[in-house]
Structure 1
Amino acid sequence: MLVRYLVFVTGNAMKLKEVKAFLGEEPNPRFTLVNQSLDLPEVQGTTQEVAIEKCKRAAQLVNGPVLVEDTALCFDAMNGLPGPYIKWFLKELGPEGLHTMLNGFSNKGAVALCTFAYSPGPPKDDPTKDPEVLLFEGRTQGTVVPPRGPPVFGWNPIFEVNGEGKTYAEMSTEEKNKISHRSRALASLRTYLDSLPSSS
């Protein structure tokens, strides 16, 4: 059976653009990458646990291959917080507020973590079973700095990549795609997709 669509679950146009720039419109002869915004339950847990649960639910809703992304920004001084809850911290505090969270801490180190969860969909022999989920992760080490660069994409203005001297927001798409946590996770995902047969 030929798989026609790989559904990337997002309503975020910037995320979709980055993923398509890296994977292409057709990341594998089996797949055409499309996006769909789904109302998935917000679960608590590690980045990996959140990604797995969201992917299972999305695969059941779509009834086919899906791709779900979860991103975390982990402050060293706060034992990994905000972590997978960065979206809510960002919504309440903004980039400047995230930076000021580390006032009083000498350690401004942080890790940007991206987890892509892929599922081929519910098992054909028993659709009531949980879909299989595979994880692909990427990490980038950096430092939390006062906001620099266009405030277009989340917390990018406060995350300066170690050894680069620039925040994500100050980088061109080409520069960012070489070293970002998302691009590293996508590289692993692309390797996996390339290994799949063109038909089954």
Structure 2
Amino acid sequence: MTSAREIIFVTGNANKLKEVKMILAPSENEPSPSFTIVNEALDLEELQDIDLEAIALAKCKQAVQILGPGRPVFVEDTALRFDEFNGLPGAYIKWFVKSMGLAKIVQMLQPFENKGAEAVTTIVYADGKGQYHTFQGITRGTIVDSRGPTTFGWDSIFQPIEGKGQTYAEMEKKDKNLISQRGRAFAQLKDFLYNSSDNQ
């Protein structure tokens, strides 16, 4: 039996790796995939842009350069876009969280009635043949005062419309994965990997 090929996920975040492995695992009636997910914590420069696909593609191309050709690799980039701010902070949300903290991010929207937001995850996958594939998941929601554990980015201030009144942080992981932008983007990647990449 040939060993499963490795697909590299560029992340140094153990929580993210765990969540992604959970989403890409076969469900009850699915055969085991012909790949395993491993991670590499590469230090990639982030393109300063509001085009989420351009940012993720630039990161994936850097990863391919570092790892060398022929090694399947994917990067994931998640953004949080506020309706009131015409899509900002977008991809810069992680720096906002780091610099300001969650409470101040919520306060930014205080003067405005519109607290609507969308969470977007963009994945770019480079197969072993040098082709790039893009997948994107979007979840609509509102920005609320922090509720639930604050261990996973901005999850405690984002209340998805489909979340039955809970923030991401308050939801069970499996329930969150069904409706989250990351879950949706990775469901597309999973479908692609299971159905069209056996020989890549």
Asked if TM exceeds 0.5, the reply is yes
Is there any run of 5+ residues in structure 2 with no aligned partner, and where? none
Q: Equivalences for 1:20-169 in 2 at 5 Å?
A: 20-24=21-25, 28-29=33-34, 31-45=35-49, 46-63=51-68, 64-121=71-128, 131-163=130-162, 164-169=164-169
SS of aligned partner of 2:42: coil
Aligned residues: 191
For 1:49 and 1:2, locate their aligned partners in 2 and report how far apart those are by CA, in whole Å: 34
Q: CA deviation at 1:40?
A: 0.8
Structure 1 residue aligned with 2:171 = 171
Greater relative contact order (Cα < 8 A, sep 6+):
1
For 1:159 and 1:103, locate their aligned partners in 2 and report how far apart those are by CA, in whole Å: 15
For 1:5 and 1:57, locate their aligned partners in 2 and report how far apart those are by CA, in whole Å: 18
SS of aligned partner of 1:154: coil
Q: CA deviation at 1:8?
A: 0.1
Q: CA deviation at 1:28?
A: 3.0
Indicate how the Cα distance of structure 1 residues 27 and 154 shifts in structure 2: closer, same or farther if over 3 A, else same. Answer: farther
Indicate how the Cα distance of structure 1 residues 157 and 27 shifts in structure 2: closer, same or farther if over 3 A, else same. Answer: farther
Q: CA deviation at 1:70?
A: 0.2
Q: Cα RMSD between the aligned structures?
A: 1.9
Structure 1 contact 3–199 (Cα < 8 Å) conserved: no
Q: Which amino acid aligns with 1:136?
A: F
Is there any run of 5+ residues in structure 1 with no aligned partner, and where? 124-130
After TM superposition, the runs of 4+ consecutive aligned structure 1 residues lying more than 6 A away are none
The percentage of aligned residue pairs carrying the same residue is 48
Structure 1 contact 27–33 (Cα < 8 Å) conserved: no
Q: Which amino acid aligns with 1:99?
A: V
Q: CA deviation at 1:3?
A: 7.3
